[in-house]
Structure 1
Amino acid sequence: MLKKILVAVALALPMFASAQTLKVGLVDINEVLAAMPETKAAQTKLEEAQKRYEAEYQKLGEEFQKKYEEVANMKADELPAIKERKTRELSEFQQKISQFEQQVQTSMAQMQEAELAPIYQKINTAIEAVGKEGNFSLMQMNNPQIVLFYQDPVVNATPLVKQKLGL
């Protein structure tokens, strides 16, 4: 019986000896993203679009204010059909403003996705390359909201990713 245990241990020993430690690389994606010129260009484009939408929204607000004042300043003896038409126009205009707000939100989200998707793809490609070149077992995004338990060796791979991107 003892002989069988010793043989089993002897056979398993090379597996333990050849087992390598887990090498984890941490990447601060926000730091990499902030350092990329493409991010700054995308941010500028998004800010310009936002300003244009805000200017259009301002115009709609002014137009709504005029229509509102027109309805509010109607004389008490105004004909009912005219009051009803102007009130209905005001309500319809308010609905158009709400629809515009929703369209702007959707458009900005789509624009942000279109602008940032290629940047994230470029970062992911660099992370994969650094992971392969550095023989990392795992590349983890360093997120302050996520607390990981890990032990050595953990490597801050952010500088390696930035170097891979030429930053």
Structure 2
Amino acid sequence: MKRLKSLLLATVLCLGASFTMNAQAKVAHVDVNELISKMPAMLDAQKQLEKLSGTYDAEYKTMAEEYQNKIKKYDQEAATVGDAVNATRQTEVQDLVKRITDYRDNAQKELQKKEADMVKPLMDKIKASIAKVGKAKGYQYVLNLADLLLADGPDLTADIKKDLGF
């Protein structure tokens, strides 16, 4: 009976040790932020976004100048025109403020949408490259460096850059 217990204990220990060895996965990390920031296509996308943002800013400034000029003119003429004209002008200024606010909000939304539309295919390309390089090197998990508290393992960032062609 003692021999059976010893044999059973030895078997359990051996199985436990083999499960522990098999449970250790190969893990590496990659700096996705570095990849996306240095990717040539992303640099081009940023230039396009800056150009679009400049266009929106110029239009916004024009609208703001129009508002300032109307306010100045209406303030100067307020005492010489009737209450009906002043009320009409006040409504006109409120409409202009609403137009300016709506324009600014829509411009921000358009810029965010454009950025998301440009970044998504690039991120998909990066993810595909990470999967390809990770599998080729035998890693079961590849983690993003930004999400790690400790990154004391293989860094695949350079390999991913090479695979992406930059």
The two structures have a TM-score, normalised by structure 2, of 0.89
Q: Does residue 157 in structure 1 map to residue 156 in structure 2?
A: yes
* Displacement after TM superposition at 1:87 (Å): 1.1
Q: Does residue 25 in structure 1 map to residue 28 in structure 2?
A: yes
Unaligned runs of 5+ in 2: none
Q: Distance between the aligned counterparts of 1:160 and 1:5, measured in 2?
A: 50
Q: Does residue 166 in structure 1 map to residue 165 in structure 2?
A: yes
**Residue number in structure 2 paired with 1:128:** 131
**Residue number in structure 1 paired with 2:117:** 114
* Displacement after TM superposition at 1:14 (Å): 5.0
**Residue number in structure 2 paired with 1:147:** 149
Q: Distance between the aligned counterparts of 2:63 and 2:130, measured in 1?
A: 46
**Residue number in structure 2 paired with 1:53:** 56
Q: Distance between the aligned counterparts of 1:113 and 1:75, measured in 2?
A: 47
The two structures have a TM-score, normalised by structure 1, of 0.88
* Displacement after TM superposition at 1:62 (Å): 1.0
Q: Distance between the aligned counterparts of 1:137 and 1:59, measured in 2?
A: 55
* Displacement after TM superposition at 1:7 (Å): 2.8
Q: Does residue 85 in structure 1 map to residue 84 in structure 2?
A: no
* Displacement after TM superposition at 1:135 (Å): 1.4
Q: Does residue 66 in structure 1 map to residue 65 in structure 2?
A: no
- Offset from partner CA, 1:112-132 (integer Å, 9 cap, x none): 001111100000000111111
Structure 1 residues 95-110: aligned runs within 5 Å: 95-110=98-113
Fraction of identical pairs, as percent = 25
Q: Distance between the aligned counterparts of 2:9 and 2:43, measured in 1?
A: 60
Q: Distance between the aligned counterparts of 1:9 and 1:73, measured in 2?
A: 99
* Displacement after TM superposition at 1:134 (Å): 1.3
Unaligned runs of 5+ in 1: none
Regions of 4+ moved over 2 Å:
4-12, 14-22
Partner SS state of residue 73, structure 1: helix
Aligned length: 163
Partner SS state of residue 143, structure 2: strand
Partner SS state of residue 79, structure 2: coil
* Displacement after TM superposition at 1:137 (Å): 2.2
